[in-house]
Structure 1
Amino acid sequence: MAPITQDMRYRLSLINYAEKHGVTKAAVKYKTNRQYIYRWKRRFDGPIASLRELSRRPHHHPNQHSPSEIKLISDLRRRNPDAGLVVFWVKLRQRGYSRSIPGLYRFLKKKGFMAVHPPNPKYIPKPYEQMDHPGQRIQIDVKFVPSVCLKNSKVIGKHFFQYTAIDEFSRWRFVEAFEEHNTYSFTQFADHLVKAFPLPIECIQTDNGTEFTNRFTIHHDKPTLFQRHLTEHGIRHKLIKPFTPRHNGKVERSHRKDNERFYATHSFYSFEDFARQLKIYNGRDYDHFPMRPLAWKSPKQVLDDYLLSL
């Protein structure tokens, strides 16, 4: 139901006053002219809805669609209910339609002939493979240290990197600071990870960066130094699907938490300072922080419990 406007109440009051005191006095009191009062008195038929302003939109237009055009649009829309505006316009043009796209849009909108788009297919993620023991698979990735955290003039403009490895079973994490981002640095990091992790590592999972693989370079058949090093240690290298960082979701999520808990509140005045603070944070705040996927145990607790059960 259309609402009653203030103008409608004003006109009703004006008519009621004119009925009691006359049109002339009503025009003086309401500061309007007699013709205005007479017009609304003629239109008023009892309900206040009759005092609503009527549409001033013209019933006809010299450029409106012709009956043949309307039939063409109606027939083509019936055969192409899902065609978008541009596709539908092109199909019409091929059948002699000469109107513009905005003109067609206004007509379709007015007549309710807009395309009914079917819903996009919903992405249903597959259940992620669960690990049975620590070391079965470890995710590795790199995080670029935010430049706003570098405060000393000697380090402003430089790039520091956080190399991260996280065990999928226990969420135990190993991090290390580096000043370079290449396959040689990750080879060193892999050596340090093997020494730090208390159990044999079976598989390391990474993205498709050139520091890990030559898969998308001209040397795609040649293994990187990082891959050769993993082979020497008897560790399998698994690459995630391209452009799907969610497959490395555990290490990606840990980097997001680093932004909230560490980088948002810390500043670094040298590379040594950054490396020291990163090590303290990971050992004190991350590996000892309870997590819901671990039944509110910390990664260190889960790893220690597994080692005690052996």
Structure 2
Amino acid sequence: MPHATHTNAKLAPAGRLALARCIVDAHWPLRRAAERFQVSPTTAQRWAARYRQHGPAGMADASSRPHHSPRRTPTRRERRVIKLRATRRWGPARIAGHLGMHASTVHRILTRYRMPRLAHTDRATGRAVRRYERDRPGELLHVDVKKLGRVPDGGGHRTTGRAQGKRNARATTTTRRNSHPVLGYGYLHTAIDDHSRLAYTEILADEKKETAAGFWQRAHAYFASAGITVQRVLTDNGSCYTSRLWRDALAGAGITHKRTRPYRPQTNGKVERFHRTLADEWAYARAYTSEAQRRAALPAWLHHYNHHRFHTAIDGPPASRVTNLSGRNN
């Protein structure tokens, strides 16, 4: 495989050949030729010697790889690294600890064998996940629901400790017929645009078909206000999304409904990843003392996410990819 010319090289292969021919064939003095081609006499001498030995073929870049690598990890050990990665889905640090190696060495081996990052593989099969992104806003929206435990009055165990959190929960909960206390859940309904990652989220009481259909009407209005025309919606196979009510809500607006393959939630991975970000940066980011306090913080966080938070996959906030979105600098 030919090697690319170094970015700082003063001579391309054609220039090297011209220099060498001036010295070897035309018998130019070494210093005169070096001055003519604006290189050092040492460089001119090196290409002239290469031309005498190999002819024009010697003007191409040679490999910088050493002939011998006595400190390279043995092939047998490299195979063990690859086997552990493929069969157990371990990262470099864990493989290194198991084999008594440096994590940096394991990382270089995985890179050399072009093993995909664990975050880019399917957990069930270990195969690389094919990433995609739609070309324009509105071509595809991901919709999903995440169940989230409510915060008891006074704070939960994450902020007050397990003992006090349990006492707060008992004081806040309702009671079922069998006398077991139930704090309950909130349901995060989310729609996120595939191209821009612009998101719309509401906390609702359940995930029934009527609730999901009502959420979609409001989400659709939000994206329309941003100048986004929705063409397709992708959901999982939950009962609220397989209902006639949901089908009619999309069909009435001329929107195509697509569903993920059964037991393949990664197909809807963008909304799954958004929910993880939502949990880390809003739901469990502060010591909330009540569910009402946490819910009151959601609009401000969602505005920050859409308008200001840097998204590494798109090199900016979602608003940077939506032309007509208002309130970017608020």
In the superposition, the TM-score normalised over structure 1's length comes to 0.51
Tell me, in whole angstroms, the C-alpha distance in 1 between the residues paired with 2:140 and 2:285.
32
Q: What one-letter code is carried by the residue in structure 1 that aligns with 2:240?
A: E
Residue of structure 1 aligned with 2:127, choices 101, 110, 124: 124
Shift of 1:162: 1.0
Shift of 1:243: 0.7
Residue of structure 2 aligned with 1:134, choices 134, 137, 154: 137
Q: 1:173, 1:287 within 8 Å by CA — same for their partners in 2? A: no
Shift of 1:280: 1.6
- 2:176 pairs with 1:150: no
Helix, strand or coil: the match of 2:229? Answer: coil
Question: Which deviations, in whole Å up to 9, do the C-alpha atoms of 1:84-114 show, x marking residues without a partner?
Answer: xxxxxxxxxxxxxxxxxxxxxxxxxxxxxxx
Residue 271 of structure 2: aligned partner:
251
Tell me, in whole angstroms, the C-alpha distance in 2 between the residues paired with 1:136 and 1:268.
40
User: Structure 2 regions of 5+ residues with no counterpart?
Assistant: 1-123, 155-170, 174-181
Residue 300 of structure 1: aligned partner:
319
Question: Which deviations, in whole Å up to 9, do the C-alpha atoms of 1:276-296 show, x marking residues without a partner?
Answer: 3212211124542111211x2
Q: What one-letter code is carried by the residue in structure 2 that aligns with 1:128?
A: R
Q: What one-letter code is carried by the residue in structure 2 that aligns with 1:150?
A: P
Q: What one-letter code is carried by the residue in structure 2 that aligns with 1:201?
A: V
Q: 1:136, 1:202 within 8 Å by CA — same for their partners in 2? A: yes
Question: Which deviations, in whole Å up to 9, do the C-alpha atoms of 1:197-242 show, x marking residues without a partner?
Answer: 12211011001111111xxxxxxxxx43111111111111100011
Shift of 1:145: 1.4
User: Structure 1 regions of 5+ residues with no counterpart?
Assistant: 1-120, 214-222
**How many aligned positions are there?**
175
Helix, strand or coil: the match of 1:292? Answer: coil
Question: Which deviations, in whole Å up to 9, do the C-alpha atoms of 1:140-177 show, x marking residues without a partner?
Answer: 11111134x33364467122111111100000011111
Shift of 1:275: 3.5
Tell me, in whole angstroms, the C-alpha distance in 2 between the residues paired with 1:274 and 1:168.
27
Q: What one-letter code is carried by the residue in structure 2 that aligns with 1:172?
A: L
Helix, strand or coil: the match of 1:293? Answer: coil
CA RMSD of aligned residues (A): 2.5
Tell me, in whole angstroms, the C-alpha distance in 1 between the residues paired with 2:234 and 2:207.
17
Helix, strand or coil: the match of 1:304? Answer: coil
Tell me, in whole angstroms, the C-alpha distance in 2 between the residues paired with 1:278 and 1:150.
17
- 2:211 pairs with 1:209: no
Residue 277 of structure 1: aligned partner:
297
Shift of 1:253: 0.7
Tell me, in whole angstroms, the C-alpha distance in 1 between the residues paired with 2:232 and 2:257.
6
Residue 197 of structure 2: aligned partner:
171
Q: 1:154, 1:270 within 8 Å by CA — same for their partners in 2? A: no
Identity of aligned residues (%): 22
Residue 260 of structure 1: aligned partner:
280
